[in-house]
Chains A and B, each alone.
Chain A
Amino acid sequence: MPDATLADRAIVMRQARLHARISRRRAVSMLAWVLCGAALAALCLSIVWIIGLVLVRGIAALRPSLFTTVTQGTGGGLLNAIEGTCVLAFGTLLLVIPFGISAGIYAAEFRSSVWARVIRFLSDVLVGLPSIVLGYFGYVTMVEGLGWKFSVAAASITLAIICLPYVARTTEVALGEVPQSLREAAYAMGAGAGTVTLRISMRLAMPAVVTGVLLALAISVGETAPLLYTAGWSNYTWNGHLTGSPIGYLTYVIWAFINEPFAAAHALAYAAALLVTGMVLLISVASRMILLRAQRRM
């Protein structure tokens, strides 16, 4: 009888230690979840705060005249800036779509070739180059070197170079998802590389490729530093010249006008911030919806 109680006691004590360890682990896990939740909460608070600031002060500054008058000194409207942003975005996409998608196609379809590897590596290098460096490059080579002055051409080319690696990489990844069997079937039916890629692989990869292009659009709308040195600034709407004439853009207004000690300037800055952030968010939402719809179809 005494031996049994000793043994029982040992068992009970071992059970107790085990339970203690489990409760400790549970407590630690609970604490960990709280910390993770706090991290997420901090993030969400920040985004609400930033977007909230832009929304509140931006909406307060919105008036119909913003869209119909040009900037006059530190007041006026945003017509020139809005139009300029659109022109620059259009110019950038015009350049980045053919060149970027081709780079992605080559890297995906001729994957093991030397050139594809060069493209892939240097694409990573290009994506790591800070945008101010590209702006500086654009300033010295195009604005000054080629004598284009502040111009749509210099700005669009600089923005296009910034966006190239994003479009190339998205296209490459998208094409990589296309099953090889599809390509083989197409080749077996006698199609050449062009047909296979453009009419078959690209069609399947299109949603993801479009996402990459939309990303390029978002970048060209939201960039500031390189444009300061390639597009300059203009208080008037675009006069149609690709070189020799500066152009306005929304991010300039945010950067330059928030510092002016005039309330009208601040209002313009917040309105511009609202427009830019709104545009980029819209593009981001569109991107996501395209991907979701494509996934659902698959």
Chain B
Amino acid sequence: MTGARRAPGFGIGMNFRRLMAILGGSVPVSAVAIVLFLAVYAWPAIRFNGFGFIASNSWNLGSLYAEPVSQGGAMILPGAQYGILFLIVGTLLSTAIAMLIAVPVGVGAAVFLAEALPGRARLWLSFLVEMLAAVPSVVFGLWGYAVLIPLLGHYIFPLMTGLLGWIPWFGEPAGSGYGLLTAGLVLSLMIVPLIAATLRDAITAQPMYMREAAAALGATRFETIWKVILPGLRPVLIGAGILATGRALGETMAVLMVSGNALNVLPHSIYAPISTMAAFIASQLDSALQDPTGMATRALAEVALVLCLIAVLVNVLARLILARATAATSQQRA
């Protein structure tokens, strides 16, 4: 062994590590580059808009055919102001509705799949649920536009205003089918497989002794799941839930095709049109590019920055909750 400086095989030891570090560095570099770029590019808009950006409902590109004027330290078109409160509200509300629908449905489906079905049915139905995850978002938008909106707008929403009209936010007018509830529904369909599949795998992975112990104590099958198995899976549910929220927050195409594209108005009922930040960026970029002062594109970059910050915040929050929940459950087990 004494004469052999280089080991057989590649034996490139430290250089391999450096190579992996450099190539793998594409991940952190991309992430930082994008957020930094957005911040730098949006800076003139951030300075011009101040806090009014997230507090007011006044997105106005200004008079595109008038002479630019100087205002607030920057050259802008007269009348231009950028306030995106309606976007923030639209994004958060549609994601909230999506989660409110997706979590119970996902948990229910996961429980049923894991516990109530014999082998072959479980395999095929699990596969069916996972197929939902494979459908691209523009196809969801296509289905929502072609099938769901006529159905909701002509039949279901009028029915709902009739039956549930006494609840605030559920009353007349039933709208055209494009709106908050439709967007929330389509989003929930897109994120439910995430929750259902992850939870189902986690439930089936749970050891039999817990089920046996609960059965020995006289619990029904469902009580075993609900009171014994699921509580231990809280970290998994939270993790999947966070991933789902992240996906819903950033969803563009499907929302663009069903949300109604509201401008500067907050929704007054669940049937009202909304706009989300992601869909807004996609639909307004062309108009913004017509601003000769360039302030409009920077304001859009600011929207993108706010969206990124919300997404990152959700992620960080998830890790904290997850860490605490995992610690709690391991404490319970100990």
Contacts and interface: CB of A to CB of B under 8 A. Distances in A.
Contact of A119 (B28, B106, B189, B307): B28
Interface stretch (B74-82, B107-115, B166-174, B175-183): B107-115
Nearest to A223: B136
Interface of B is mostly: helix
Interface residues of B, number: 93
Nearest to A129: B308
Interface string B135-172: 11111111101110000000000000000000000000
A43 B281 contact: no
A104 interface: yes
Contacts of A54: 139, 142-143
Interface string A270-291: 1001001100110110001000
Given A192-B9, A198-B10, A36 B285 contact: no
Interface stretch (B48-56, B58-66, B206-214, B217-225): B217-225
Interface stretch (A66-74, A236-244, A250-258): A250-258
B278 A255 contact: no
A236 B134 CA distance: 28
A25 B223 contact: yes
A127 interface: yes
Nearest to A107: B24
A16 B112 CA distance: 31
Given A133-B304, A136-B300, A118 B28 contact: yes
Given A29-B220, A118-B28, 12 more contacts: A32-B222, A43-B132, A105-B24, A127-B246, A128-B311, A130-B250, A134-B34, A137-B37, A191-B10, A191-B11, A195-B9, A225-B253
A105 B140 contact: no
B32 interface: yes
Nearest to B305: A133
Interface in A18-58: 22, 25-26, 28-30, 32-33, 35-40, 42-44, 46-51, 53-54
Contacts, number: 282
Interface stretch (B15-23, B266-274, B324-332): B15-23
A126 B158 CA distance: 42
Secondary structure at the A interface, as helix, strand, loop or mixed, is helix
A98 B136 contact: no
Given A47-B128, A106-B24, A193-B17, A38 B135 contact: no
Contact of B281 (A136, A195, A277, A283): A136
Contacts of B4: 190
B253 A137 contact: no
B23 A136 contact: no
A30 B116 CA distance: 12
Contacts of B7: 190-192, 195
Interface in A112-169: 115, 118-119, 122-137, 139-141, 161, 164-165, 168
Given A115-B21, A136-B301, A191-B11, A36 B139 contact: no
A128 B8 contact: no
B31 interface: yes
B309 to A, nearest CB: 10
